[in-house]
């Protein structure tokens, strides 16, 4: 199965470890990965700020690049960016050249946890991580991509992981792309409330499927001097893996998922 | 009052709001309580997503055929001897109602809570009539009136920003001698206002839904004051935004169920009333019945991408889920329509010059879109506002504008982006100042970090680093793409068996 | 300032402006009448027997602070008398209606008629409002009881006006068991059909769910604001 890695600009610029762990997990499950080097960014920073014209070129480039290799699937480590790939088909519905391509892209694109569970049928990735953790649910992954389940399913089966529910899990962390930089005075109380909620769980580890949210929350925690181990789901699922623990949907009772 | 509640600049309002810790606490408490009540009420109803589809359809179709439904409604009101006035703007609406009050020689006016009467600045107009007394009779609006016409902070809970002791002090000016227990204070308000009701000669109400096929008005309330406003006075004036109409009683009933659950987490509010001009043989209710249908900028949304905003049923659920509203409250928005719906609606009604900041006051988390009972794509409409301001009218000539264009160019061109990947870390490393050790471990700062920085760096970067540490850009030989080029693939332990 | 005029010119200018703004011609509705995309209002809570609806109604009425009672036609007079005693009734308000006969309350009504005040079809606005304002207790009849929400529905009639339901402090409503329906939808179907067929002439329909209340002060629920301070429903088994 050929999988094109949509590595996202944030991961590309700042967080190589996230993409590396994601690739290794996918390879472990037999995916033949490629990383097209012309990909840049999904276009959210400018599009969501209202710069539509400036964004279209970015979006066209992303579509062309991700579809170029004709892979079976396109997988990314960021719920928000993958949600944006799914939005293209609506933005470009009147674009004679790109309307169809955008639909094809949406049909093939998955967020990492979604792909593992919903396409590969992975329930237990074989990982072990001895820690008390909590999970931050990103707004775009939950509400725009519509995926609220798969990270929890995969985390539930990580050996040694004690996952605490996060109070106010539905609240935005205050990232919002350019919002966090353009409107710091609004973003600050949001990220502070998120940090406080996470601390209140007693977790030592914070996990999410959106590196940008983690950059925001973790960046604030570091500034406030709060001790926290910040991990992407891919880091967790590639940690201390024992292949004998791996389980698929077909191997387990429905109730055990 | 009018739509705009203050002329202070947006950031000043936000800073003021952020200092009001009581307000923030009560908004958060209200949001958390409403979350449970609302979701519980929706869950008990079942099939909520299909209900939303029905609610959306009802509202979309009435907006689509709006002139026809309004015509049918006006015909039916007039058939029963009522009167309809179509007001193109706030001034015309308020002036017409003043004219009615003068003609009817009204002395004692009672009002029930209505956002649109606040929008058209009605109270000021009526109070300019010599010898007229005017009472807001909704408990919250009464409190605001007696506090020198303070501004509401929520479209469903207008006094969310006041605590019981502040309210006790307000009531003491009216002769109240009791404690600050809400129940005791409500009893005092009942007695005080009952006297006003009994002598009222003109009642003014808003309108949740107008019923096109029989000319009735639907009002959804909890206290009972609106019903007294339309039972006791001989004259009643109903003020409605022009979009607040439904085909028949049946659709009103459907929407009342969705409105009650979305606004206050009740299956139905205490009073859902459908009423019109008094009929022969009845002894109370209005002899003279006026409906004022207000455009005031709403028609600017028709035929545009913003048309769905007219689907709104004013439940306030989007305020109750909004993380921005949670921290700045209603006053921060500077419009009587705050929160996500206010950020979309206010610029349509009265332009970007006054309300252009509001569409940017959102992280686009989409909680508003998710909760809206009639499926208004609120966060998309916020982006649409931004697009118009940025792409079309270029209101923002600041440095940020230039940066956004550079990002647009940068992220549109693979060559430029790769240059950043190659050289980005050089620029940032220079800025890195001496700083304490990281408390956050994990992948964030594997390449180092940038702490607080100073001007003359770009404003965007300051906005980030004022609050948070920034990870350093990966050095080329350490970035993902170079790793991928040289890594040895992990041995597959399973052959993929795709489920789909 | 020039007098603002209602009428055809005012209306046409406004509606034409809307049509022009929307880019859609007027008078399209007759070819596109509203047809709901689903039947949820009817299928929700469907298929319950009258006994089951009574149970559901009781649970949901109690949840909205209603004192909920059931009785038979024979027991109704006693229930009303106990209620009047419990409320230490001074000024009782009753409707003018032939429902007294339907509930075998003709004698009870005759006993109370002299001491009670009546909302009367031929009285003036001021007279009826004055009685309702003086009343500490009102006993009225409802058209339907909605099981889902614990709601009574009342259409205004000459003998039981609008303020009848709002001014008195304590309110008791009598509902026949046969008139318990699942939801507001069924009640509204009846009203809509009755009004359109001319069987019901009314200017006002009240759906009343428990006593008046407010959360305006610190979101603390206060029961009893402008409308009645408490509500009692008496369901009479007429089946």
Contact B361 A58 (CB under 8 A): no
- Looking at chain C, which residue has its C-alpha nearest residue B191? C226
Instruction: Indicate the SS3 state at residue B449.
Output: strand
Residues B268 and C207: their CA atoms lie apart, in Å, by: 9
- Residues of B numbered 286-345 whose beta carbons fall under 8 angstroms of chain A's beta carbons: which are they? 321, 323-324, 326-328
Q: Supply φ then ψ for residue B73, to 5 degrees.
A: -60, -50
* Pick from B364, B417, B445: CB nearest A48: B364
Q: Is B457's Cβ below 8 Å from some Cβ in A?
A: no
The total of structural domains in chain B comes to 2
Residues A35 and B443: their CA atoms lie apart, in Å, by: 21
3+ Cβ–Cβ pairs closer than 8 Å linking A and C: no
Domain boundaries, chain A: 2-118, 123-237
Q: In the prediction, which pLDDT does B429 show?
A: 46
C239: confidence class by pLDDT, cuts 50, 70, 90: confident
Of A65, A77, A60, which is closest to residue A11 (Cα–Cα)? A77
Q: In the prediction, which pLDDT does B447 show?
A: 85
Q: Is A256's Cβ below 8 Å from some Cβ in B?
A: no
What is the token pair recorded at B182? 């809400």
Q: Supply φ then ψ for residue B4, to 5 degrees.
A: -85, 125
Instruction: Indicate the SS3 state at residue B288.
Output: strand
Choose between A126 and C224: higher pLDDT: A126
**Which residue in A6, A36, A47, A54 has the most chain B C-beta atoms within 10 A of its own C-beta, making it the best mutation to test that interface?**
A54
- Pair B227, B184: CB distance under 8 Å: no
Q: Is C86's Cβ below 8 Å from some Cβ in B?
A: no
> Which residues does chain A have within 8 Å of residue B489's beta carbon, measured at their own beta carbons?
27, 33
A240: confidence class by pLDDT, cuts 50, 70, 90: very high
- Looking at chain B, which residue has its C-alpha nearest residue A91? B380
Which segment of A248-257, B225-234, C63-72 scores lowest on mean pLDDT?
A248-257
C57 min Cα distance to partner chain B (Å): 13
Whether B426 has a pLDDT exceeding 50, the answer reads no
- Looking at chain A, which residue has its C-alpha nearest residue B474? A14
Q: Is B453's Cβ below 8 Å from some Cβ in A?
A: no
Choose between B445 and B393: higher pLDDT: B445
For B342-384, write each residue's pLDDT tens digit.
999 999 999 998 999 999 999 999 999 999 999 999 999 999 9
Of B260, A231, B160, A122, which is closest to residue C150 (Cα–Cα)? B260
**Which residue in B18, B408, B419 has the most chain A C-beta atoms within 10 A of its own C-beta, making it the best mutation to test that interface?**
B408
Give the E-state strand segments of chain A in sequence order. Answer: 2-5, 32-34, 73-76, 109-111, 122-124, 128-136, 159-164, 205-208, 228-232, 247-248
Contact B295 C29 (CB under 8 A): no
Q: Is A164's Cβ below 8 Å from some Cβ in B?
A: no
B494: confidence class by pLDDT, cuts 50, 70, 90: confident
Whether B283 has a pLDDT exceeding 90, the answer reads yes
Residues A105 and C208: their CA atoms lie apart, in Å, by: 53
Contact C204 B273 (CB under 8 A): yes
Average pLDDT value for chain A: 96
For residue C65, give the DSSP letter.
Answer: T
The pLDDT of C22-29, averaged and rounded, is: 97
Final residue before a domain boundary, out of B300, B324, B353: B300
- Looking at chain B, which residue has its C-alpha nearest residue A121? B499
Residues B201 and C129: their CA atoms lie apart, in Å, by: 13
In a domain, B409, yes or no: no
Of C226, C140, C29, C173, which is closest to residue B193 (Cα–Cα)? C226
Neighbours of B111 (CB within 10 A): 28
Contact A139 B363 (CB under 8 A): yes
> Which residues does chain A have within 8 Å of residue B324's beta carbon, measured at their own beta carbons?
186, 190
Q: In the prediction, which pLDDT does C148 show?
A: 98
Final residue before a domain boundary, out of B265, B281, B300: B300
What is the token pair recorded at B451? 């702490």
B183 min Cα distance to partner chain C (Å): 5
* Pick from B366, B383, B481: CB nearest A50: B383
Whether C212 has a pLDDT exceeding 90, the answer reads yes
In a domain, B395, yes or no: no
Q: Is A24's Cβ below 8 Å from some Cβ in B?
A: yes
Which residue in this structure is represented by tokens 């809400």? B182
Contact C129 B232 (CB under 8 A): yes
Question: What is the torsional sign of CA B329, B335, B339, B343?
Answer: negative
For B123-135, write each residue's pLDDT tens digit.
999 999 999 999 9
User: For strand B209-211 and strand B108-111, is the pairing parallel, antiparallel, or unpaired?
Assistant: unpaired
Domain boundaries, chain C: 47-237
> Which residues does chain B have within 8 Å of residue A246's beta carbon, measured at their own beta carbons?
493-494
What percent of chain A is helix, strand and coil (3-state, nearest 5)? 50, 15, 30
pLDDT cut 70: percent of chain C above it: 100
Could you tell me how many CB contacts below 8 A there are between chain B and chain C?
A: 293
Of B423, B357, B439, which is closest to residue B396 (Cα–Cα)? B357
A18 min Cα distance to partner chain B (Å): 7
Contact C226 B279 (CB under 8 A): no
Final residue before a domain boundary, out of B256, B278, B300: B300
* Pick from B369, B467, B499: CB nearest A184: B467
B409: confidence class by pLDDT, cuts 50, 70, 90: low
What is the token pair recorded at C136? 């500490």
Of B207, B230, B222, B77, which is closest to residue C156 (Cα–Cα)? B230
Average pLDDT value for chain B: 91
The pLDDT of B191-198, averaged and rounded, is: 95
| C130 CB burial (10 A radius; 0-12, 13-18, 19+) | middle
- Residues of C numbered 205-224 whose beta carbons fall under 8 angstroms of chain B's beta carbons: which are they? 205-220, 222-224
* Pick from A12, A121, A176: CB nearest B499: A121
Q: Is B432's Cβ below 8 Å from some Cβ in A?
A: no
Q: Which domain CATH number covers B243?
A: 3.40.50.10420
| B485 CB burial (10 A radius; 0-12, 13-18, 19+) | exposed
Q: In the prediction, which pLDDT does B425 show?
A: 47
> Which residues does chain B have within 8 Å of residue C120's beta carbon, measured at their own beta carbons?
283
Choose between B43 and B452: higher pLDDT: B43
Domain housing B196 = 10-300
- Looking at chain C, which residue has its C-alpha nearest residue B77? C203
In a domain, B203, yes or no: yes
In this complex, the chains that touch B, judged by 3 or more CB pairs closer than 8 A, are A, C
Q: In the prediction, which pLDDT does B2 show?
A: 87
Cα A213 from chain centroid? 10
For residue B273, cis peptide bond before it (omega within 30 degrees of 0):
no
For residue B436, give the DSSP letter.
Answer: P
Q: In the prediction, which pLDDT does A51 show?
A: 87
Q: In the prediction, which pLDDT does B1 show?
A: 65
CATH class of A123-237: alpha beta
Q: Is B437's Cβ below 8 Å from some Cβ in A?
A: no
Q: In the prediction, which pLDDT does A247 show?
A: 95
CATH of C47-237, one of 3.40.50.10420, 3.40.50.150, 1.10.10.10, 3.30.230.10: 3.40.50.10420
> Which residues does chain A have within 8 Å of residue B16's beta carbon, measured at their own beta carbons?
none
- Looking at chain A, which residue has its C-alpha nearest residue B15? A185
> Which residues does chain B have within 8 Å of residue A65's beta carbon, measured at their own beta carbons?
414
The pLDDT of C191-206, averaged and rounded, is: 96
Whether B312 has a pLDDT exceeding 90, the answer reads yes
Buried b (16+ CB within 10 A) or exposed e, B446-484: bbbbbbebeeeeebbbbbbbebbbbbbbbbeeebbbebb
Contact A48 B447 (CB under 8 A): no
What is the token pair recorded at B335? 């419009």
In a domain, B358, yes or no: no
For A187-216, write each residue's pLDDT tens digit.
999 999 999 999 999 999 999 999 999 999
Question: ipTM of the predicted structure?
Answer: 0.97
The pLDDT of A218-237, averaged and rounded, is: 97
CA distances from A122 to A113, A178, B479, C236 (A): 9, 35, 28, 60
CA distances from C48 to B51, B171, C45 (A): 21, 49, 7
* Pick from B389, B441, B463: CB nearest A184: B463
- Residues of B numbered 9-28 whose beta carbons fall under 8 angstroms of chain A's beta carbons: which are they? 11, 14-15, 18, 24
In this complex, the chains that touch C, judged by 3 or more CB pairs closer than 8 A, are B
- Pair C47, C147: CB distance under 8 Å: no
Whether B407 has a pLDDT exceeding 80, the answer reads no
Contact B404 A58 (CB under 8 A): no
Whether B398 has a pLDDT exceeding 80, the answer reads no
Contact C41 B266 (CB under 8 A): no
For B202-240, write each residue's pLDDT tens digit.
999 999 999 999 999 999 999 999 999 999 999 999 999
Neighbours of A177 (CB within 10 A): 20
This prediction has a pTM of: 0.94
Q: Is C46's Cβ below 8 Å from some Cβ in B?
A: no
Q: Is C84's Cβ below 8 Å from some Cβ in B?
A: no
B415: confidence class by pLDDT, cuts 50, 70, 90: low
Residues A53 and A46: their CA atoms lie apart, in Å, by: 9
In this complex, the chains that touch A, judged by 3 or more CB pairs closer than 8 A, are B
Contact B228 C16 (CB under 8 A): no
- Looking at chain C, which residue has its C-alpha nearest residue B85? C6
For A22-55, write each residue's pLDDT tens digit.
999 999 999 999 999 999 999 998 899 888 888 9
């Amino acid at each position: 199965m050929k999988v094109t890695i949509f590595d996202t600009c944030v991961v590309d610029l700042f967080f190589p470890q996230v993409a590396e762990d994601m690739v290794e997990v996918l390879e472990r499950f037999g995916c033949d990965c490629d990383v097209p080097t012309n990909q840049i960014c999904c276009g959210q920073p400018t599009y969501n700020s209202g710069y539509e014209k400036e964004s279209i070129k970015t979006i066209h480039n992303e579509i062309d690049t991700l579809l170029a290799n004709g892979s079976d699937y396109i997988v990314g480590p960021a719920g928000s960016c993958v949600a944006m790939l799914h939005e293209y088909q609506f933005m470009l519905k009147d674009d004679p050249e790109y309307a169809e391509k955008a639909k094809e892209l949406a049909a093939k694109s998955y967020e990492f946890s979604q792909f593992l569970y919903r396409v590969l049928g992975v329930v237990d990735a074989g990982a072990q991580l001895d820690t008390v953790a909590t999970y931050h649910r990103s707004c775009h992954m939950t509400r725009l991509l519509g995926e609220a389940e798969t990270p929890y399913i995969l985390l539930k089966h990580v050996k040694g992981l004690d996952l605490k529910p996060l109070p106010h899990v539905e609240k935005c962390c205050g990232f919002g792309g350019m919002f966090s930089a353009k409107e710091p005075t609004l973003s600050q109380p949001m990220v502070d409330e998120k940090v406080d909620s996470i601390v209140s769980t007693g977790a030592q580890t914070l996990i999410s499927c959106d590196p940008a949210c983690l950059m925001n929350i973790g960046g604030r925690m570091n500034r406030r001097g709060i001790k926290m181990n910040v991990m992407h789901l891919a880091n967790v699922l590639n940690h201390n893996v024992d292949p004998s623990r791996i389980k698929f949907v077909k191997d387990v009772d429905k109730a055990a998922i | 009052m009018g739509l705009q509640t203050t002329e202070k600049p947006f950031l000043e309002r936000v800073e003021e709001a952020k200092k009001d810790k009581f307000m923030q606490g009560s908004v958060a408490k209200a949001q958390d309580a409403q979350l449970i009540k609302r979701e519980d009420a929706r869950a008990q109803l079942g099939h909520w997503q299909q209900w939303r589809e029905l609610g959306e359809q009802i509202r979309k179709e009435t907006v689509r055929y709006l002139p026809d439904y309004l015509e049918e409604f006006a015909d039916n009101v007039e058939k029963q001897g009522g009167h309809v006035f179509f007001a193109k703007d706030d001034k015309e609406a308020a002036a017409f109602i003043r004219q009615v009050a003068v003609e009817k020689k009204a002395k004692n006016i009672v009002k029930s809570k209505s956002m649109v009467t606040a929008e058209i600045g009605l109270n000021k107009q009526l109070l300019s009539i010599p010898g007229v007394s005017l009472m807001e009779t909704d408990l919250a609006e009464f409190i605001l009136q007696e506090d020198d016409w303070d501004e509401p902070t929520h479209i469903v809970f207008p006094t969310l920003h006041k605590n019981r002791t502040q309210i006790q002090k307000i009531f003491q000016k009216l002769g109240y001698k009791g404690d600050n227990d809400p129940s005791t204070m409500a009893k005092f308000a009942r007695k005080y206002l009952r006297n006003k009701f009994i002598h009222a000669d003109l009642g003014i109400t808003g309108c949740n839904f107008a019923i096109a096929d029989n000319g009735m008005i639907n009002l959804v309330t909890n206290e009972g004051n609106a019903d007294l406003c339309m039972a006791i006075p001989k004259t009643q004036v109903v003020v409605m935004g022009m979009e607040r109409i439904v085909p028949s009683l049946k659709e009103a009933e459907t929407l009342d169920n969705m409105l009650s659950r979305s606004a206050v987490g009740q299956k139905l509010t205490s009073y859902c009333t459908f009423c019109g001009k008094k009929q022969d043989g009845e002894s109370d209710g209005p002899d003279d019945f006026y409906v004022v249908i207000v455009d005031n900028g709403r028609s600017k949304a028709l035929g545009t991408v913003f048309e769905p905003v007219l689907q709104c049923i004013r439940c306030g659920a989007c305020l109750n889920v909004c993380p921005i509203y949670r921290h700045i409250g209603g006053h921060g928005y500077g419009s009587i329509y705050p929160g996500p719906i206010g950020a979309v609606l206010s610029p349509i009604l009265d332009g970007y010059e006054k309300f252009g900041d509001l569409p940017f006051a959102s992280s686009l988390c989409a909680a508003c879109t998710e909760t809206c009972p009639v499926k208004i794509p609120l966060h998309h409409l916020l982006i649409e506002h931004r697009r118009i301001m940025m792409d079309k009218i270029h209101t923002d000539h600041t440095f940020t504008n230039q940066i956004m264009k550079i990002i647009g160019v940068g992220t549109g061109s693979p060559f430029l982006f790769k240059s950043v990947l190659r050289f980005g870390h050089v620029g940032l490393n220079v800025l890195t100042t001496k700083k304490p050790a990281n408390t956050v471990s994990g992948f964030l700062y594997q390449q180092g970090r940038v702490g607080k920085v100073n001007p003359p760096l770009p404003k965007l970067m300051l906005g980030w680093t004022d609050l948070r540490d920034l990870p350093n850009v990966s050095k080329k030989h350490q970035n993902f793409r170079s790793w991928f080029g040289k890594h040895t693939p992990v041995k597959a332990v399973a052959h993929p068996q795709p489920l789909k | 300032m020039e007098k603002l005029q209602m009428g055809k010119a005012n209306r046409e200018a406004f509606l034409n402006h809307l049509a022009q703004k929307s880019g859609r011609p007027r008078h399209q509705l007759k070819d596109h009448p509203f047809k709901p995309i689903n039947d949820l209002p009817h299928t929700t809570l469907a298929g319950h027997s009258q006994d089951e609806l009574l149970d559901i109604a009781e649970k949901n009425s109690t949840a909205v602070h209603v004192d909920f009672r059931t009785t038979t036609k024979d027991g109704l007079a006693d229930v009303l008398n106990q209620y009047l005693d419990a409320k230490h009734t001074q000024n009782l308000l009753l409707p003018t209606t032939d429902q007294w006969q339907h509930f075998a309350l003709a004698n009870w009504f005759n006993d109370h008629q002299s001491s009670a005040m009546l909302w009367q079809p031929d009285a003036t606005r001021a007279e009826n409002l004055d009685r309702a304002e003086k009343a500490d207790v009102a006993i009225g009849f409802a058209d339907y009881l909605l099981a889902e929400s614990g709601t009574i529905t009342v259409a205004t009639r000459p003998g039981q006006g609008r303020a009848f339901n709002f001014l008195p402090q304590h309110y008791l409503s009598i509902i026949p068991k046969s008139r318990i329906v699942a939801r507001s939808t069924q009640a509204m179907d009846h009203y809509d059909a009755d009004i359109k067929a001319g069987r019901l002439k009314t200017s006002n329909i009240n759906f009343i769910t428990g006593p008046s209340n407010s959360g305006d002060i610190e979101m603390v629920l206060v029961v009893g604001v402008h409308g009645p301070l408490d509500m009692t429903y008496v369901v009479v088994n007429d089946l």
